[in-house]
Amino acid sequence: MAVKDIVLYPNAHLKEICKKITNIDEKTVSVAHNLLDTMRFYSHSVGIAAPQIDQLFRIIAIDVSKAKKGQKSNHGELIMINPEILDWSSIIKTREGCMSIPDYVGIVNRARMVNVKYLDLDGNEKIVEAEGFEAVVLQHEIDHLDGILFIDRIISKNVDLFERKKH
């Protein structure tokens, strides 16, 4: 499909609640493939949500398998339509960044394990249990679908928000 430009904060679309997909049509498939192409293009990316490419639909793509933190426990490349966290357990502090907020990282609380229900591109309902880094990425991307950014989850902007180191 195509690599899309990343929508940057403070673009108002990043704060909108995305529409639930009621019919997996050509548009849905196109958005999903654009998410994958864009995530692959930005080799440091482990996840992306539709609003980050200016599409206000409940679709995310993740793949933590190439990241050091995600190599031991992952489900590979996933496209998730209408993802919903069914269950979670245990809270961990984690350092997060976001392609839509490229200059900052922050410390947030996330669940160590999540069960997520979603539809695949064929419309099949699936449930995935993720833990550790993959669970954090899923929560981060699902938050995007509800207009929530990692900076909204930082407890103290004075203590837990940092400028990203330039390489």
The residues annotated with a catalytic role in the active site are 141
Strand partners, 93: 109
In single-letter form, the type of residue at position 139 comes to: Q
* Of 142, 166, 140, 151, the residue nearest 106 (C-alpha): 151
In single-letter form, the type of residue at position 71 comes to: Q
CA distance 20 to 9: 23
